Amino acid sequence: MNLSVKDTAQLLSVSEKTIYRWIKQDIIPSYKVHGSYRFNRAELIEWATSRRRGVSADAFSEPESEIQPLPTLHEALETGGVFYHIEGKTREEVLTDTVAHLRLPEEVDRDYLEKVLLTREQLASTAIGEGIAIPHPRSPGLLNVARSKVTLCFLEEPVDFHALDGRPVEILLVIIAPTLRVHLHLLSRLGFVLRDPGFRQVLNDGESRGKIFSALAKAEAKIKG
């Protein structure tokens, strides 16, 4: 709980008055600490992404970013890969097959990762609506991976992920990041490109890898900063 109302307003590019209204309406995740409202950055990014809300381009500006450049989505997807025909009739079965496809170092315990992803879904669905879910560990860094990965999976058939809009999920974008900072960076960029009509169209059509990467490059190039 490291963000104030002012910080949160800047992060979400809205007024402080709007933040207080959302608190009153119990819309935004918040905590009252010693009489003041505080917010968790990771929860806010997830909340904003699930509601197609933009996040300030300055949200991830940190001094060390110049020393260790943050990956682009294009780079992370190249590392994670694109997979078609992921099987499963339930959320659990889909996650099992998804984990089996992930490009991971041999030392990563896939059974453990599967449990971590399922636990995250049980706490709160990662489905963001319109047939898309973004599974990820609740605590990035647990897997001790060196490279960030975003893995795109097209399901063989739609599966209920308990999305707010009630629509079954057909597409997964799995984030595996070495640190919380990188995780939030990738999650924020995903929230942006998923609002791009061109990129969404190639996803909805289940296009070839080449067309997906081309559309992603165009969408990501529109991100400022």
Beta bridge partners of 172: 133, 153
Both tokens assigned to 165: 């809009």
Q: The tokens 């969404």 sit on which residue?
A: 200
Cα separations (Å) of 224 from 55, 59, 105, 220? Answer: 11, 12, 33, 9
Active site amino acids: 136
What stretches of 40-196 show up as alpha helix (H) in DSSP?
41-50, 73-80, 91-101, 110-123, 180-193
| Residue pair 143/113 in contact by the 8 Å Cβ criterion | yes
Three-state SS for 43? helix
94: burial class by Cβ within 10 Å (0-12, 13-18, 19+)?
buried
Q: Of 98, 183, 194, nearest to 148 (Cα)? A: 183
